[in-house]
Amino acid sequence: MTDHREVAIVRWPGQSPPIGGGLAALLAAYHLRTEAEKGEPVASVDGLPDRYRAEITDPRTAFASDVVLVALLVGTAVGCLVLTSPTNGPSEIKRLWIDPQSRGRGIASALLDAALAHAKENGVDTVRLSVWEWRTGAIALYERLGFTATEPWDERDQLVCMQRAT
């Protein structure tokens, strides 16, 4: 396991190395894998729904009002997480993705810790997320970090909604 001190969590865009391409690659991998897991595989980013392609091609605009955290390991983008700005309620964690070759090193935990700390520092009381029920490893991680299942706010089949206080 990588020591969290070896993983740099940076806010994008910001005072960090240029990571736009690394972020785009992480988002593309996330969306392509998710579509395949839902039984709707697509061959490339061009086959993704418009809203997902927009995140990949122009994340600065797609996440303009959100906080995007990127995990760097030896200067390479290996993970990402989007924390939405709260609108009349909790912030939401989206797009948590770790490059498969970098998994098992505590990177997801480091991103989640940074997101929760950011939310708390900015007066957000509750953070929520949704996760596909077949992503049991992710659900176990969220539970270890104090997230609990809650009433769904998203009615898509097989989606688990979770939240925790900051």
Model confidence over 52-99: pLDDT tens digits?
A: 999 999 998 999 999 999 999 888 999 999 999 887 779 999 999 999
pLDDT of 113 > 80? The answer is yes
pLDDT of 19 > 80? The answer is no
Which tokens belong to 21? Answer: 């391409």
Which tokens belong to 111? Answer: 């991103």
Q: Can you tell me which residue has the tokens 């061959």?
A: 43
- The percent of residues in the chain predicted with pLDDT above 90, rounded, is 77
Q: What integer pLDDT is reported at residue 5 of this predicted model? A: 54
Helix (H, G, I), strand (E, B), or coil: what is residue 162?
Answer: strand
Beta carbons within 8 Å of 45's beta carbon, 6+ residues apart: 28, 31, 32, 53, 56, 57
pLDDT of 13 > 80? The answer is no
In 48-161, alpha helices (H)? 50-57, 59-62, 107-121, 136-144
- pLDDT band of residue 155 (cuts 50, 70, 90) is confident
- Please give the backbone phi and psi of residue 80, each rounded to the nearest 5 degrees, phi first: -150, 160
Does the predicted model carry a pTM greater than 0.85? yes
